[in-house]
Amino acid sequence: MSNLFEYPEAREASSAAKVRALEALLIEKGVIGSDSVDTVLEHFETMAGPFNGAKIVAHAWVDPEYKQRLVEDTPKAIAELSLPLGMAGAEGEHMAAVANDADVHNLIICTLCSCYPWPVLGLPPYWYKDPVFRARGVREPRAVLQEFGVTVPASKQVKVWDSSAQIRWFVIPERPANTEHLSEDELAALVTPESMMGVALVAPPAA
């Protein structure tokens, strides 16, 4: 995508600089304290983030019955695992999982704003909020995926799921080949937030 996804490192660095400047201004004006910022950061480092989603996906890969339960009743299935995330709250409740397979590739967007399942994916990336991505994701999902480096064959259906305040989707990506020897923790290390959004595939482990 020529403008939206070009030079992501520069865009991320610019966004990080703006966040730091805003944080400093809010602390200076007394709107928030540095301890409040530390509390929020600690929450996303230890409680809510893509490490949770990766553990869920890895368990679904090794346990087909669990995977089925995860798709049928996502909150109930997540509650079976010993994870540090809380399911309550606007960003974590009403989560639902969809599974990629040989016939279907799933893509997650939010056409209204940037609704996102923070407890399992962490904070949304800058491009997820961009109106261009949200619009094109609906109109031409195959082209968008191609620009992310994901080529979906014509024989495979692409389904687009629109997150909202009522339901927040995430993807169970396909398990990469030749990973039968890996432990659940090793499988979880392969899973990325992008793969759980549907804009990336899970790469096999390096030789």
Binding residue positions: 110, 113-115
Return binding residues for Fe(3+).
110, 113-115
CB atoms closer than 10 angstroms to residue 177: 7
Task: Provide the annotated active-site residues.
Answer: 110, 113-115
What CA–CA distance (Å, rounded) separates 79 from 182? 24
CA distance 157 to 141: 11
Question: CA–CA separation, 65 vs 71, rounded Å?
Answer: 10
3-state secondary structure of 102: coil
Q: How far is CA 130 from CA 6, 35, 88, 110, 133, in A?
A: 13, 31, 27, 10, 5
* CA gap 120, 163 in Å, rounded: 14
Per the listing, tokens 């990766």 go with 54
Amino acid at 17: A
Q: Taking the CB of residue 2, how many other CB atoms lie within 10 A of it? A: 6
**Cβ contact 81:183 at 8 Å:** no
* Identity of the amino acid at 51: F
Output DSSP code: residue 153.
-
